[in-house]
Structure 1
Amino acid sequence: MISKTDLPDVIPVFPLPGALLLPRSPLPLHLFEPRYLAMLDDVLKTSNRLIGMVQPYETPGGSRLHTIGCAGKVTAFSETEDGRYMITLSGASRFRIVEEVEGFTPYRRCKVNWSGFDADLGPAEHDPTFDRPAFMKVLGRFLAEKGLSTDWDSLDEVEDELLINSLSTLCPFEPEDKQALLEAPSLTTRRETLMTLIEYALRGGNGEEIMQ
């Protein structure tokens, strides 16, 4: 478990469109670019082993980073025969980017502020208003329309936070939608955002009412 005192002022960041890391949730990553292999090598030498995941977005002036990201601790890694790495980040805490730090590393680093996200370092959240049967019914329609399958028995058994965060990470939403899920202030608002995105997708994105 990461504590507040373990959170550094400057962290390496990995801008990856559509990749969503959430507190207390895992994110598997495949690293192969030389700059990110160098980043992993440097991160493994630190005591906290933190990497910040950030959504980039395009503007007329070029690529920029969203202000809010989430840092994860490298909790597993393995090397392939051709020198690539499979790693797992375990979500530690969200952060706000203060500024990008210039330096001699091939990867990007940012000065960050961790304030406002104290709950990320605490125990798992609960969603007291979660109507799981209704949610699972809509989810089933969404997965069927997307041609996706899942282990329903496993989904029925997991806690609210793991279910909502896993679906937020795995469902094929646009990067801006993933950012909205990341920035949700509570598990309840994340679940509400997730349901809105699923229902919007079922309408075909055209704003028409869902047929019940």
Structure 2
Amino acid sequence: MSIDNLPKIIPIFPLNGALLLPQGNLPLNIFEPRYLSMIDYAMKNEKMIGMIQKNNKSGENDELYSTGCLGKINQYSETNDGRYLINLIGVTRFKFVQEINTEEKFRKLEVNYLDFKEDFNNNFENCFDKEIFLNEVKNYLQKNKIEVDWQLMQNVDNTLLITTLASICPFTIAEKQMIIECPNTDDIPQTLLNLFKMSDQSIESKSAN
């Protein structure tokens, strides 16, 4: 897949705290009517939607951050009560160009992918020291009382490790946006390390008080 083959206008799902990265996975439980319509639309077209966060700092409920991630629906099922259970796999990040007027119940954006050409090529294999990284991860998870299968965590490939941690760790909206706005995907592991250390300092400060 290349940038030239990607849709320039995409339906979007604004959802704070739900972080999708290139090559990462994001399971979603869709139940609101407008987003059920969005999934129907996507399934009839490229099976792609954009995940993006709302910028709460702006004071405008509908204002969005400038960077999100395009996801492709690779799993889809319907429940007896009318919900859709889907999984997105991250394709590439995008920049928000402008919102498109539409008669649909959901929102659409015109987007640009040019700043993120390297998203297609990275697998996180040579951009960080895994042993040092895992030590910081273990410390962070223990201090935040987050239970994981540590043996599995140690054995997964780097791409799954990084994209999963970025998604499941209880970072703030602004911190998750910091991750997705990294200039290059190679910068994401170091950004995660910085966030782990900031969290440790915050916990230690609260304990001292």
Q: 1:118, CA displacement in angstroms? A: 1.2
1:126 & 1:101 partners in 2: Cα distance? Answer: 38
Are the aligned partners of 2:11 and 2:49 in contact in 1 as well (CA < 8 Å)? yes
> Which amino acid in 2 is paired with 1:5?
D
The more displaced of 131-140 and 82-91 is 131-140
Please identify runs of 4+ aligned residues in structure 1 that moved more than 4 A.
205-208
The residue aligned with 2:150 is 152
> Which amino acid in 1 is paired with 2:48?
L
TM norm structure 2: 0.91
Are the aligned partners of 1:127 and 1:187 in contact in 2 as well (CA < 8 Å)? no
The residue aligned with 2:173 is 175
Are the aligned partners of 1:200 and 1:207 in contact in 2 as well (CA < 8 Å)? no
The residue aligned with 2:101 is 102
Give the length in aligned residue pairs: 205
SS in 2 for 1:44: helix
Cα offsets for 1:73-120 (capped at 9, x unmatched)? 000011111000110001011111110001100000001111121112
The residue aligned with 1:131 is 129
Query: Would you tell me which structure has more helix in proportion to its own residues?
Result: 2
- Residues 1-212 of structure 1 aligned to structure 2 (within 5 Å): 2-46=1-45, 48-58=46-56, 59-122=58-121, 124-128=123-127, 130-204=128-202
1:189 & 1:202 partners in 2: Cα distance? Answer: 20
Give structure 1 stretches of 5+ with no counterpart. none
2:37 & 2:198 partners in 1: Cα distance? Answer: 40
SS in 1 for 2:62: strand
Cα offsets for 1:59-85 (capped at 9, x unmatched)? 234431011110000000111110001
Q: 1:145, CA displacement in angstroms? A: 1.8
SS in 1 for 2:183: coil
Give structure 2 stretches of 5+ with no counterpart. none
Are the aligned partners of 1:98 and 1:112 in contact in 2 as well (CA < 8 Å)? yes
Are the aligned partners of 1:72 and 1:89 in contact in 2 as well (CA < 8 Å)? yes
Cα distance change of structure 1 residues 126 and 81 upon mapping to structure 2, 3 Å threshold: same
Are the aligned partners of 2:25 and 2:88 in contact in 1 as well (CA < 8 Å)? yes
Cα offsets for 1:124-149 (capped at 9, x unmatched)? 24334x22222222211211122211
1:101 & 1:146 partners in 2: Cα distance? Answer: 41
The more displaced of 152-161 and 12-21 is 152-161
> Which amino acid in 1 is paired with 2:22?
P
User: Over aligned residues, Cα RMSD in angstroms?
Assistant: 1.8
SS in 2 for 1:65: coil
Are the aligned partners of 1:25 and 1:162 in contact in 2 as well (CA < 8 Å)? yes
